[in-house]
Amino acid sequence: MTAMIQSLFRFIIGGVIVSAFAIVGDVLKPKSFAGLFGAAPSVALATLGLTIVADGLAYVGTEARSMMAGATAFFIYASLVSRIMMRYKFPAIWVASCSLPLWLGVAGGIYYFVLVSA
Amino acid sequence: MRIRVDLSALRQTKWHDYAVRFLFGGFITALAGIIAKKFGPGIGGLFLAFPAIFPASATLIEKHEKEKKKSLGLDGSARGRSAAGVDAAGSSMGSLGLFVFALVVWQFVQRSSMDRSYRGDASMADSLSGSLADSKGIVGFDGEYCSPTTGEKPANRI
């Protein structure tokens, strides 16, 4: 499978799975419960099957280990965003978007200092 | 807390909101694959836990709550922000589930690789060297070693 076709495949599968989880989150009440689906492993589910076939189990293992760092960063990111939205009068889009570098920094930091350097 | 399903929320969501989520989700998934190929599975794996649709969802929730209050002649800005904040708090709990998901996948891969080596698919020496390699950040007990940074598999096994 060429890289282009693989990327296209990932795009379609990823789009469908992410949208499906978003719809589930939309229809569930209360919102604190529905929010759980905002952190569903949608990108991972879309990717892992294809990665196992294309690159093997060892590759998936390495990705999953890094994903734990990403999930920890997600926890810190979502907690901070929640606190800012509740306390201050900033629009949700700005808070959620401007905090994304925090996710990147924490995920990168954990990856470098815990997974690579240790 | 009583959990219920409210299908009327689907009617509030416009087709372009779904399109944005589809595009974001698809883009991030494709990007995670491209990053893994370019920088290795170690870096690529981080993006499997990227908050792909979180900003779009938070914005949508804020908008819906505002519209609800506006239809009653009230200003729903504070209510909208609060609802998005509650959703974000739920997502932070969900990220713990995401962590456990990754942990289970990682352990499953490790164990299934070990099972293969016990069955004789790989030698004991391979298993031991795999364990040592793993402690340095290279996963694999079955000879499928790959660099955490580049994802390259060496031509000659250890």
B82 interface with A at CB cutoff 8 Å:
yes
Tell me which residue range forms the domain holding A72: 57-118
What residues in A contact B101, CB-CB < 8 Å?
41, 44, 67, 71
Determine the angle formed by the axes of helices A100-110 and A57-87, rounding to 10 degrees: 140
Question: Are residues A49 and A23 both part of a single domain?
Answer: yes
Domain boundary among A55, A72, A90: A55
A43 or B150: which leads in pLDDT: A43
Question: Are residues A65 and A88 both part of a single domain?
Answer: yes
pLDDT reading at A6 higher than 70: yes
Q: How would residue B55 be classed by pLDDT, with cut points 50, 70 and 90?
A: confident
Question: Are residues A1 and A18 both part of a single domain?
Answer: yes
Question: Are residues A49 and A68 both part of a single domain?
Answer: no
Does the N-terminal peptide bond of residue B41 adopt cis geometry, omega within 30 degrees of 0? no
B76 interface with A at CB cutoff 8 Å:
no
Of how many residues is chain B composed? 158
* Contacting residues for A53 by C-beta, under 8 A, at least 6 apart: none
Q: How many domains does chain A have?
A: 2
pLDDT at B73: 81
Beta strands in chain A (DSSP E): 28-29
Question: Are residues A49 and A97 both part of a single domain?
Answer: no
CB distance A26–B80 less than 8 Å?
no
Question: Are residues A50 and A61 both part of a single domain?
Answer: no
Q: How far is B35 from chain A (nearest CA, A)?
A: 11
* pLDDT tens digits for range A41-69: 888 888 888 888 888 888 999 999 999 99
pLDDT at B132: 38
- Quote the ipTM score: 0.91
pLDDT at B126: 45
**CA distance linking residue A49 with residue A59, whole number of Å:** 12
Supply the pTM of this predicted model. 0.80
Question: Are residues A69 and A117 both part of a single domain?
Answer: yes
pLDDT reading at B143 higher than 70: no
CB distance A7–B33 less than 8 Å?
yes
pLDDT reading at B138 higher than 50: no
Question: Are residues A64 and A111 both part of a single domain?
Answer: yes
Domain boundary among A35, A55, A75: A55
Question: Are residues A72 and A33 both part of a single domain?
Answer: no
Question: Are residues A61 and A118 both part of a single domain?
Answer: yes
pLDDT at B122: 47
Question: Are residues A32 and A69 both part of a single domain?
Answer: no
Q: Tell me, what DSSP letter sits at residue B136?
A: T
Q: How far is B128 from chain A (nearest CA, A)?
A: 15
CB distance A57–B93 less than 8 Å?
no
Question: Are residues A67 and A43 both part of a single domain?
Answer: no
pLDDT at B146: 56
Whole-number percent of chain B with pLDDT over 70: 72
Q: Is A41 helix (H, G, I), strand (E, B) or coil?
A: coil
Mean pLDDT for chain B?
77
pLDDT reading at A112 higher than 90: yes
pLDDT at B133: 43
